[in-house]
Amino acid sequence: MTSVVSEKEGPFGWLTLNRPRVRNALSLEMMEKMREHLDSLAEDPDIRVVVIRGNGPAFCAGHDMTGWGPTATSIIFAGCFRHVPS
């Protein structure tokens, strides 16, 4: 199962978080896939809006911390703030 599904429909880009068994909790792999899809949609001049949605009963439960060590927080924040202008 693909953790993030990207679709285009006219001027709309759709990203669907697709891990309904874990309430679409964000794993590192999933966040990387989202970034790849967002970068691709940003390069498409026809896309004017991107909608992010969740498959299943929840949009997103937050970060999936399963199996992460003590450096998890720094990894998450480094990825989150990568696109924030300084």
Mean pLDDT on 55-71: 84
- Domain coverage including residue 32: 4-83
pLDDT band at 75 (very low <50, low <70, confident <90, very high): low
Helix residue spans in the chain (DSSP H) = 28-42, 72-80
- Which pLDDT score, from 0 to 100, does residue 76 have? 65
pLDDT at 38 over 70: yes
pTM passes above 0.85: no
The number of distinct structural domains making up the chain is 1
Q: Find out whether 53 and 16 touch, Cβ atoms under 8 Å.
A: yes
Does the structure show a pLDDT above 80 at 39? yes
Tally of CB atoms within 10 A around 27: 17
Domain with 25 in it: what CATH number? 3.30.300.220
Is the pLDDT at 28 greater than 70? The verdict is: yes
Tell me what the pLDDT averaged over the chain comes to: 87
